[in-house]
Each structure stands twice: as C-alpha cells, then as structure tokens.
Structure 1
C-alpha cells in the first residue's frame, strides 16, 4: 500500500510540475503489482490518445536515420549576421581605469594605468526546434552526431530506454505541439529541443578584439563547442528531474520566476525543461531558449551541460548569470526566422511582428553576454573603477 501511495504521489507531482502528459479517464483501476505495464501503456500510447482528442502536430515525431534535412541557416550566414550586428549589439562603454603595480625589488615598485571598458560578446548560438534530426543550423547536425546528441545515437536511445523501459522505436523522440479541442488534456502543449554552441563568429570577433589594444573585451567560449544539447540531457530536459521539486516550480503566477510581465507573460522559468503551455509558438521558442541559457550561465545546475560561468580574473570580469531583469547578463539577436541587426532583452514586446514567428517551429538566436576588461599593465591589479 505504501508503494502504491508513493507511486501515485510521484505521478501526480510529475504531471503537475512538468505538464507533460495527463492520464486517461479510463485509468480508474489498475493492478498495483504490474505498474511497469501500466506505465508503458500510458507512455507508449501517448500519440494515439492525442490523435483521438483533436488536432495534433507531431507530438511523438522522430527523425529517421536517413533524414536529409539541411537546416535553414549555415555557419557562413550566422557569422555574417553576427558581425553585421556587432557595433549595435556589443554596447561598448568606457567604464573607468585600472591601476597596476610592478615590483622589481620590493619596496621599489612602479605603477601604470589602463582603461576599463565594457561590451557584449556573442558567446553562444542557441537554437530551439521541434523535431529531432531537424536542427535549423545546418552544421550543428554534424556536431550533434559527433557528440552522440542526435536522435538515433546510442546514447539517446539508451538513456530513454533506461529511464522509461519501453521500446523507443514505438514511441519515438517526442517533439512538436499538441492543440486538442478537449480542455485540460495537453491543450497548447509544446515540447522544444534546444542546443547551444559556441558562436563561430568568435574566431573573427576575438581577432578583432586583439587589434584594439584592449579597448574591446574578448569572449571565453569556444567556437562550435556544444555547451548544451537537450537530447543528451534527457533526464532533466524531458522529465524535469529534479527541478519538478524545486520551490520555484511550485509558485505559479509569481512574477519573480516568470519571463515577462502579468500582461505579457511568456511562462514560468522553472522547471527548466522542454515542455511548456503557450498559445503563441514564438513564446514557446523564446521561453525554451531562455531556460537553457539560464542554467548554462550558472555552475552546478542539475543538467548535462558545460557552463559558460567564469570566475573573475585580474583585468577581466564576466557578467553575472542570466537575469531576466538585467540587460548586462544577456541580450538576444534573432537570426531565424528573421535576421535582426540589433539585440534586446527577452521577452519581446506585447505584440511582436509576425515575421518573428517561424512557420516550421525553428528559431535561432545569438546570445550576447557582457564583459568588463582592461589591458594588463603590471604584475598585480591594485585598484579599479567602474
């Protein structure tokens, strides 16, 4: 009886926190000694149940091994769009001075100064999309395959089989949107895949920074490096474990943990997983990308990722982790479906233009993060302003 009670409570918590799926009305009785079969039946029949309820677009779609999808944007196009927006998005500022000390024979020391500046750097390319093997950035498909992050990789199929313990081939890698006519059953439910890579433009951007005599701060991410691939993060991104138990996940309508305002709400930041309920597909894409960037810019989060959170160094100060209310912690440049020449904080205004809404569910953004820096002019930094 205790085992049954624990399972029922766990299932209720999972359904409420993740909002990933609701159980059918026919589940009024089941054999407590055969929970595996009951679970497999529910999980395995998700697509069928959704189709019976109304209009469903690929909530259980799966990219095939011979998928020939070429994406919507290649590396050259991303680099060109990034560099064309550099002057606008870097938000360059002169912040103060740094005072350096060099001691050859203490206490005989010399002092020198350098300018302290602040600017944003295009650290990451973040893409949000519906279907496995449907990465909108063309070359990222190869990165995912090498990283074992593609839909058909042994890692992804093994981890899902290990957790759910049923035939992955029958169920597929879920993704897409469900818009049933019947209330309270997956209405406007989205599941987004999100990947974040080091921006390929950093090669040119950092080279430019080195030629400015310390007047532009360079970035610290590595071009093309996969900092986050949601398929590799299956446990946290698909089942929101353990974030479903976070206090932030149980505080609905609390603006502190929501992206946006009461009149322009994009949804809850926690739990930071791939499921969300939204009436606007753009909001679903924005929220999924923001959730990923939220933990990528932090250390020690319960996800499988590489952080871009770096410690301060003498003469180099990265910004704090992403905060929805602070522009210096991160701004966004849309690359697809519309290519912007400027950046802004998420969320968009109450009525964003229609050309920001993708017809294929795919979105690509540059994530620009701010840094402060000054050129090293001595052995030790003893004072700085700004």
Structure 2
C-alpha cells in the first residue's frame, strides 16, 4: 500500500477509536460534531464522574450560597500576629541622610538634615483557598459575598456567557485530586484575595510616634486590592496571558518560582489553575502569582495596584521579584503562626505545621520602603 494511504488509514483508525471509547455510554445526547453538546455534557457530568473514580475535594461546593463557614482567622488575630512579628519582619536599617532646603525669600534659604531609614511594611493580607464562600479571613467574607454570585460576580458571569456562550451555572472551582491507584490527576485551582492589612492602623500609629524613624505604609486597611473571583476571565480562563511568550517558556528559570531542585511551578500564566500534587505549594504559587501583578501597574487583571512611584522622602521597593528580598517577603498567619518573614518559595519539604487540613492559607505580605522625615520644602540631596 502507498505510504501516504497507510498514514491516512492509521489516522482515521485512531480518530474512530477515540469516538468509540472517548466518552461514557450514559452520555445519550453526546454529539462529537457539536461543540455546545460536548461542552455542556462534559461540564455537567465532571463532578459525578470524579466522585465515581475517587475522593474529590470541593469542586461542586464552590460558591455554596448557604455556606455557614466562619473562617479560620479574624481581624484581631491578624493584627496581633502582625504586630508580634513587627520587630523581626520590619528588618529596620539606618541607611543614610536627607538634606532639605527651605526658602522664605530666595536666596535666603535654610538647610535641615533628617536620617534615612529602611524597613518592611505589612501592606497586604493574602489568602489562598478552595471555595468561593470559604474565605479563611472571617471579615473578608461579607465583602466577597457582596461582590460575587454563586460562581462569579454577576457582570463577569454575563461577560463569560456572552464571550463563550458557556453554561456558567455549571462552572465551579476548587481542588481536584482523584484518589485512584496509578491514576492520580493533580489539576488544582485556588482562589486568591489580597486585602489591605488591618494591622496598618496600629503599625502606622507606631511609625508616626517615632518621628521619622520608621517608614509607614500607604495601603488602605481592609481595602480589597484583589478578589480573584471578580477577575474570572483572567484568573480562570487565562486570557490574555495564554498568549504571553512567558506562558510557553516551560522550564526557563526566570519564569519559575524556585530553583531546579526546589521548583514550585511556573509563574506564568498568572491564573488559579496549576498542576501540583502539594496543596501548600499550590497556595504558595498562586499567592505569588497574584502578588506578582498586584505590585505592578497596567497588568491584564482586575485589581488595584500597590505599586507606587518614588517621591521626595519616600522610596518604595520595586515589583515583586523572587530574587530581590526588598520587593516582598511573606509571613504565614494560617495554618502556622509565624513570627518571622521569608521569601517565596518555601523549602522543598515544608513541615506538617505549615500544612492546612482545609486547603486554606493566609499570609502577610511585607514590602521594603526607604524614607526620611520631611523637614523642609525641597529635597536637595540624600544618601543610602
């Protein structure tokens, strides 16, 4: 037989075999030629099929409207844990001096000096979790539930329906680990939110009372800088980052969180889905992904940036970079109450105390700032 005909025959047999065994027999209305039928059938029966194959952690429970979950940490806990770690995490340094000029009637001017310091500020509380009504930070639940419906916010749901013609009432989130011997699927999905740290009220009061010896923060306590369920098109559907070159640079160290021997996964695309067998590492990576764009401006997500330009007397560190400690360190608040901060990723084998039994994780995000007290009209020189 002609080699070309052999190739065509082989391809046809493979396709025919796929059609014959590629879907369960109970899909009576399944039509491979209809994308709508394929979509609705697969989405509608995914949960049922997974339950038949093994234990499933919280796919259908995403967005439970009658959920009475009360969270695992509250505002008082966060404030106390943040302030308890302040002396360690702020990492205070004396960096130099600033010279200020004040002119009443030029050229009659006076010069005054103030010290320049550097310290970390607890800008945000970041939470990574599995269920839309299962936010680990108790007080964040009310804000989130006002902002979103059973699966997504109403306007995002409308957008998805319009763009994809998707049956969004069947779209759920959460974590899927199928407990079947020799058939373990590690597709994971995490929701991530970032709120202004409530401890900033106490922290900034302390900084103000020290008269320029400590840099204060400028994030707004409790303000929702990012709610992933409102960012569904980017966080769930991976648009437009699917088309970023970084998203296809598999194995490139610059686009992976960690090292060759301790790799938590790819930073891009910055979405909630990932392939990871370790729930803690999933939470670390998705939290890092969210903070990666929250610390930047003009990124293709729905968020409020904490990235700030420098100004006289106040110099924020740059966007989050795993190779630059000043751009961001993390303090675990739940499940472990850490009294120190560290860069992401964590170790290759985090201990049991770092692992949550419910898939919820909460961190403080600390970022470095340099500042000097303004004691004049114009900054004319500074060091450090």
Instruction: State the TM-score bracket (shorter-chain normalisation).
Output: 0.7 to 0.9
Give the corresponding residue for 2:78.
78
Q: How far 1:379 sits from its partner (Å)?
A: 1.0
Deviations 1:213-247, CA, capped at 9 Å, x for gaps: 10100101000000000000000000110111111
Structure 1 residue 63 corresponds to structure 2 residue 63: yes
TM-score (norm 2): 0.88
Instruction: Give the structure with higher Rg (CA).
Output: 2
CA distance in 2, matches of 1:94, 1:337: 34
* TM-score relative to the length of structure 1: 0.88
Rounded to whole Å, the distance in 2 between the matches of 1:150 and 1:335 is 28
Bigger mean CA deviation after superposition, 232-241 or 343-352: 343-352
CA drift of 1:344 comes to 0.5
Q: Report the counterpart of residue 178 of structure 2 in structure 1.
A: 179
CA contact (8 A) 1:144 1:150 kept: no
1:251 aligns with 2:249: yes
| Partner of residue 95, structure 1 | 95
Q: Hey, what's the Cα distance between the residues in 2 that align with 1:207 and 1:178? A: 46
Give 2:273's aligned residue: 275
Determine the C-alpha separation between the residues in 2 that align with 1:101 and 1:50. Answer: 69
Structure 2 match to 1:316: 314
Unaligned runs of 5+ in 1: 1-22
Distance 2:205 2:227 in 1: 27
Q: Distance in 2 between matches of 1:103 and 1:164?
A: 62
The 8 Å contact of residues 54 and 182 in structure 1, kept in 2 or not, is answered as no
Matches within 5 A, 1:1-386: 26=22, 34-148=34-148, 151=151, 153-155=153-155, 157-169=157-169, 171-179=170-178, 181=180, 187-386=185-384
Q: Considering only aligned residues, what root-mean-square deviation do their CA atoms show, in Å?
A: 2.2
Relative distance call for 1:90 and 1:329 in structure 2 (3 A) is same
**Unpaired runs of at least 5, structure 2:** 1-18, 24-29
- Equivalent pairs counted in the alignment come to 360
Cα deviation code 1:89-109 (max 9, x no counterpart) = 000000111111112222222
Shift of 1:57: 2.1
Alpha-carbon shift at residue 118 of structure 1 (Å): 0.5
1:288-342 CA-to-partner distances (Å, cap 9, x unmatched) read: 1111000000000000000000111100011100001111000000000010011
1:6 is matched with none
How far the C-alpha of 1:112 sits from its partner, in A, is: 1.2
SS at match of 2:274: strand
Does the Cα contact within 8 Å between 1:62 and 1:174 map onto a contact in 2? yes
Structure 2 CA distance, aligned partners of 1:333 and 1:276? Answer: 23
Q: Report the alpha carbon displacement of residue 53 of structure 1 after superposing the two structures with TM.
A: 4.5
Structure 2 residue matching 1:295: 3-state secondary structure: helix
Aligned mates of 2:255, 2:343 — CA distance in 1: 16
- Further displaced range: 201-210 or 160-169: 160-169
Matches of 1:202 and 1:151, distance apart in 2: 32
Cα deviation, residue 153, structure 1: 4.8
User: Which range is displaced more, 51-60 or 299-308?
Assistant: 51-60
Counterpart Cα distance in 2 of 1:186 and 1:274: 20
Q: Secondary structure at the match of 1:123?
A: strand
